[in-house]
Structure 1
């Protein structure tokens, strides 16, 4: 198979779909890999390293899209990239389609086979290709929130861990999954006063056993959420409904109850955000203010730590990519129901139910591709 990867063009996105080491895994098995020149610059991977791994370098993304049977990326294809997709071509990347009707329409029109990292499952019911980026984003959310709390960045001027004689910041984490756990771990490690909200008794029990006295847990109801948000210095939205748009849990009315200069970090922004006042921002302009509350809603947060993120991502995406290359996409999906769960768009049809429902489109079950 001919596999291609391109330089990401989303604002301040420095990750790359394939590392030189991943390229070597393909070429060692007899596959051809085409890499756009400069694709690995953001992670410190030179063109020479890709050449030594057996890749063929080309000067433009258009050449990659024209020749590759499977394009491996990190972020969702931008409009200029979507225009280069063709019928039957495999796109393997993060898509986050539920809040993005324009992208969904373009992918349907292309006729491409679109496999989304974020909906591939595992035997335990987890999302293994999303997990490493959720770990990164969860940890980064605390760094970003701590910076936004500084007075020079519009925040309250509060140090997360406080100092002797001064109370630490109150951090509220909404959602106790992978993002929430990692956010709470970082915040508690810095000495903040941490409360984690979730609706699952099993999740709350697990978090309680792990954190013991270092963080509090609380069942998430409308009343408890409103109470915790009103008292918070930093609120981290870590809610995920796999493949679907995130629920709007923090309303604009709640902002009026918060302290001036408090910070909201919406890690769910890729799926539309879990705060009513959220809209996607970039690393170039990461924050904005609504009703005196600082919002940090960067949609590609892990891109800021590109090297760590890329190697973590490749470690989980590569095995599936190799199977697709070895067996072809149809047989690879037929043999693996967890990879099949990653199929979002095929031959102009939406095959992931939550995306179809969220956008009011017809859902064609992925199993129908096998006749």
Structure 2
């Protein structure tokens, strides 16, 4: 099997899908790793390190795509890469097809076996390949929000932790899953006043016990969300329905009631966002203002910490990549039900129900 690793081309992307350690593991199992030159450089890994681990190199992404049986990526293929995909190829990456119908059509057109990191499941129903990036995005959301609250960048001038004699900033986290819980941890650690909302009272109970009442937990309903958002300095949207388009939880009416210079960081933007009407931003232009509120909606947030994100991601993907090399794609999918849950497209059809529903295509 030839595993192809092209450079990531999404704006500001610093991650890579293969570390020298993972390269050494899969080549020892008999796979060939074909990398685009300098593919790992932005994450701090040199071609010399990959060469020592057994990789070979191609001068262009086109050669990588053309030669590989399976393409291993971090982010979904962009329009510039559509023409590089080979008929019947296997693609293992974050796909987020609910927010990308054009990509879904291309994958179907080319008969791509599309295995999405975000829908691979563990035996306990968790999402092990989504988890590390959710954790990073949750932690980053507070750092990012704190920065854009600064006066010099158009923020309201609020210090999240405050000082003695002043009120700390109010952080409202909508969603108490992996990303939301890690946002709560960072915000509480900075000394902010934190409110977290979720539909699942079990998640709220866990956070209430962990923080011993220092974090306010509320059931997520329109009235509670509206009241908390109105008083927030920073709103973190962390709502996730795996593979599906994110539900709208924060409406434009709610945003209008926020104080000028407040900040919204929508972690759910990969799946379309949970803030009504929010527009994608990029690392080159990360925010825009609407109703006087700074909106941050970068879909590849973890790229801000490319090395940490790469290590976190590849540690999670390694067992699955190794399994595919050892057993072959079809046998691995047949024997591992959790990996099979990662299959979003196959044989020209969308085969994952929530994705099919989101993009409007028939499910196979």
Note whether the superposition's TM-score is higher than 0.5. Answer: yes
1:86-165 matches, cutoff 5 A: 86-165=86-165
What per-residue deviation string (whole Å, max 9, x for no partner) do you get for residues 201-253 of structure 1?
11111111111133110111110000000010000000000000001111111
TM-score (norm 1): 0.97
Match of 1:67 in 2: 67
* TM-superposed deviation, 1:117: 0.1
Q: Distance in 1 between matches of 2:177 and 2:69?
A: 35
**Secondary structure at the residue paired with 2:212?**
helix
**Secondary structure at the residue paired with 1:30?**
coil
Match of 1:180 in 2: 180
1:311 paired to 2:322 = no
Q: Distance in 2 between matches of 1:229 and 1:306?
A: 31
* TM-superposed deviation, 1:263: 0.6
**Secondary structure at the residue paired with 1:356?**
helix
Match of 1:48 in 2: 48
What per-residue deviation string (whole Å, max 9, x for no partner) do you get for residues 142-193 of structure 1?
0000011111111110000001111100000000000000000000000000
Q: Distance in 2 between matches of 1:280 and 1:85?
A: 25
Q: Distance in 2 between matches of 1:256 and 1:26?
A: 52
**Secondary structure at the residue paired with 2:195?**
strand
Q: Distance in 1 between matches of 2:216 and 2:253?
A: 25
Segments of 4+ in structure 1 off by > 3 A?
none
Q: Which runs of 5+ in 1 are unaligned?
A: 365-371
**Secondary structure at the residue paired with 2:3?**
strand
Once the two structures are overlaid, the 10-residue window that deviates more, 213-222 or 175-184, is 213-222
Contact 1:11 1:284 in 2 (8 A): yes
* TM-superposed deviation, 1:259: 0.7
Q: Distance in 2 between matches of 1:88 and 1:324?
A: 16
Match of 1:205 in 2: 205
**Secondary structure at the residue paired with 1:344?**
strand
TM-score (norm 2): 0.99
Match of 2:258 in 1: 258
What is the number of residues matched between the two proteins? 364
Q: Distance in 2 between matches of 1:74 and 1:211?
A: 34
Structure 1 vs Structure 2 CA RMSD: 0.8
What per-residue deviation string (whole Å, max 9, x for no partner) do you get for residues 297-329 of structure 1?
011000010000000000011111111122121
**Secondary structure at the residue paired with 2:230?**
helix
Match of 2:273 in 1: 273
Match of 2:37 in 1: 37
Contact 1:172 1:196 in 2 (8 A): yes
Q: Distance in 2 between matches of 1:214 and 1:59?
A: 54
